Amino acid sequence: MRFLEEEEVELPANSSLRQIALVRHGEPDLQKTGKFSYNQARQFVQDYDSVGIVVPDTPFLKVEDPDDIAVFASSINRAKATAHYIFGADREMTVSPDFREFETAMGKHSPNMSMPIKF
């Protein structure tokens, strides 16, 4: 991934190129295989929203000049961990629940069976 350079784009006079890149969080540091009972699945949802990320062996994104970038992240730990991984642990960022994609929730029924977590 790379950002466009101003000379690559036709811009009106006296304007500057501003770009937004949306980056999904890294792989959550959580076991997701096997079958889960209703109560285990409820715990999984809580854990899923609180874990960090599995740090990859090779960077999945390279930022050439991170000081020129404003960083925003959702309030979920894996989103903040991904931003810290890409931009540095000391990086200032705006964190808000407004940036969350959606809320994960479990229904109120408790079937007496175990299923893969994606169900």
Exposure letters 71-91 (e unless 16+ CB within 10 A, then b)? bebbebbbbbbbbbbbbeeee
Range of the domain at 111: 6-116
pLDDT at 33: 86
In a domain, residue 90? The reply is: yes
The answer as to whether 111 is a domain residue is yes
Can you give the pTM of this predicted structure? Answer: 0.69
Residue 26 lies in a domain: yes
Give the total number of structural domains in the chain: 1
From first to last of the 119 residues of the chain, give the pLDDT tens digit: 566 676 777 777 777 767 677 777 888 898 888 898 888 888 888 888 889 899 888 877 777 777 778 889 999 888 999 888 888 888 889 999 988 877 777 777 777 888 887 77
Which is nearest to 105 in space by CA: 54, 41, 56?
Answer: 41
pLDDT tens column, 36-65: 888 888 888 888 888 989 988 887 777 777
Query: Is the residue at 1 inside a domain?
Result: no
